[in-house]
Every structure is written in structure tokens, then in C-alpha cells.
Amino acid sequence: MNQFDRNVTDKHRYKFDAMPAKLDFIQSATGLFLALFMWGHMLFVSSILLGKDAMYSVTKFFEGEYFFGKSYPIIVSITVAIVFIIFIVHALVALRKFPNSYRQYRIYRAHMKQMRHSDTTLWFYQVFTGFVMFFLGSVHLYIMMTNPGNIGPYESADRVVSQWMAPLYLLLLLAVEFHGSIGLYRLVLKWGWFEGSNPKESRKRYKKVKYIITLFFLTLGLLSLAAYIKIGLEHKERVGERYTPTSLMPSQK
């Protein structure tokens, strides 16, 4: 057998499995979509910091009122359902990289302590926050999907305070912001985006940007949650009352 025949035989004997690469791409693509979605979501939710009317306007915008002349909360349900599906796909694909036994977990912990490498530690934090986020995020998405008409300054504040969702939203905020920023950092490293001539310096720059992003959205999220808690406490005696914007209130003479 000559060299050419041997190479052909080896090619057929050892077939290349493209599935891991495809799963990696799916995980990266869904993770990028969810991270960008969460940034947008946080900016929209934080509109409460500009006042109740501002948050009401944002809510009606996503319900299609400014396009159709009438609110259609079903638009929110459909949007959330799509995000929920992508969320589940991302979680299922990412599960293949989780330690699947306590023995593997102990080996990884020993490896992490021995290496003392920040990126190895970040991966552990990402796994932990992802695990937490799957349960807390599923609760939030299901509520939004099945109650799209109960989003607004009073409605959302009542849910946070009177329905005792504040602890869940606080934990979810921490999990989402840490998981998302670490995920984007690892995504940039994996695919080599924005990489300069010096990879070591690029990595330092990525980490700095990651910390800035995390600090910004955590601060924004905590301030927004505090605003909803304040409104919810003030509105506690009138739970269930829907918000009426200033423009629709009867003028007082």
C-alpha cells in the first residue's frame, strides 16, 4: 500500500466529528443573544429611574400601542416565549461542560486551587451563576410570559413588594450580571474578537472592560430595584391599582 492509499484509508477510518464544534457555536450564539438582550432589558427596566411616566411609555411601546393605536400584551408574551426557548437551548447545550459527578467537581476544585489562574476561577463562577440563573430566570420568564398585561410602574412594583419577588430579583440580578459579563469575556477570548498584536495585553483590556460593564449594570439594576421597592411600599395599600399616566389624568381646576 502506497502513502496515498494509506491516507485515504485513514481518512475513512477516522471520521471527523463536527458535533462538538456545532454545539460550541450554538452555545456562543445563544449566549451572545441573551447577554445583549439582558443589557437592553436592564436599560428598559431602569426607565423607572426617569419617572413612572417614562416606564409606562416604555411598557406601551413594547405592547405596540404607538404602532397600532392599542396595546397588545400578547406581543410581550410572544417575545418572552422566544427568549425563553433560546434560554433553555443555551442551558441545555452548556450543561455538557458542567461537572457531571461529585468526583469531577472535586478534581476541578483541586485543579483550580493548584493553578490559581483567574480565568479558571471565572469559569467556576460562570457555572455556579448559570446554575442559579436557570431556576430563577425560568420563574421570571414564566411570570412575564403568562402575565404580560401586569407590567407597569404600579404593577411591577406591586409584584416586587406585595408578591415578595424582591429577594428573587436581587439574586437573579447578581447571577445574570456576573454570568453575562464573564460569558462575554470568555466569548471574546474564544473567538478572538478585538484581539490586538499583543494577546496578553488584550486579555488585560478585556478584563478591565468586563469589570466596568459588571459594575455599571449592577449599579443600574440595584438602583432600579430600589426604586420599584420604594414605589411598591408607597402603593402597598392600593395593590392591584393600575397606573394612570399624567397625560390621562383629569385636569384639576
Report DSSP letters for 55-106, one per residue.
HHHHHHHHTTHHHHSS--THHHHHHHHHHHHHHHHHHHHHGGGS--SHHHHH
Q: Which residues contact 189 (CB under 8 A, 6 or more apart)?
A: 119, 203, 206
What is the H or E stretch that residue 101 is in? none
Residue with grid cell 447578581, as numbered in its chain: 174
Residue at 217: amino acid letter: F
Q: What b/e readout covers 124-146, taking b as 16+ CB neighbours within 10 angstroms?
A: eebbebbebbbebbeebbebbbe
pLDDT at 3 over 60: no
Residue with grid cell 411601546, as numbered in its chain: 61
CATH node for 21-240: 1.20.1300.10
- What's the first-to-final CA gap in the chain, in angstroms? 102
State percent of the chain over pLDDT 90. 62
DSSP 149: T
Residue of 27, 37, 31 lying closest to 217 (CA atoms): 37
Give residue 238's pLDDT band: very low, low, confident or very high (50, 70, 90).
very high
pLDDT tens, residue by residue, 53-88 = 999 999 999 999 999 999 999 999 999 999 999 999
Boundaries of every domain in the chain: 21-240
pLDDT at 12 over 60: no
pLDDT at 97 over 90: no
pLDDT at 116 over 50: yes
pLDDT tens, residue by residue, 179-198 = 999 999 888 888 777 777 77
pLDDT at 167 over 60: yes
69 — alpha (psi -120 to 50), left (phi > 0) or beta?
A: left
Residue 9 pLDDT = 53
Residue 218 pLDDT = 96
pLDDT tens, residue by residue, 25-56 = 999 999 999 999 999 999 999 999 999 999 99
Nearest-angstrom CA–CA distance, 108 and 127:
12
Residue at 50: amino acid letter: L
pLDDT at 4 over 70: no
- pTM here is 0.85
Q: Where is pLDDT greater, at 189 or 151?
A: 151
Q: Which long-range contacts (CB under 8 A, 24 or more apart) does 72-76 make?
A: 73/148, 73/149, 73/151, 74/148, 75/148, 76/144, 76/148, 76/151
> Of 31-35, 103-107, 146-150, which range is least confident?
103-107
pLDDT at 253 over 70: no
Nearest-angstrom CA–CA distance, 242 and 74:
18
Nearest-angstrom CA–CA distance, 223 and 78:
28
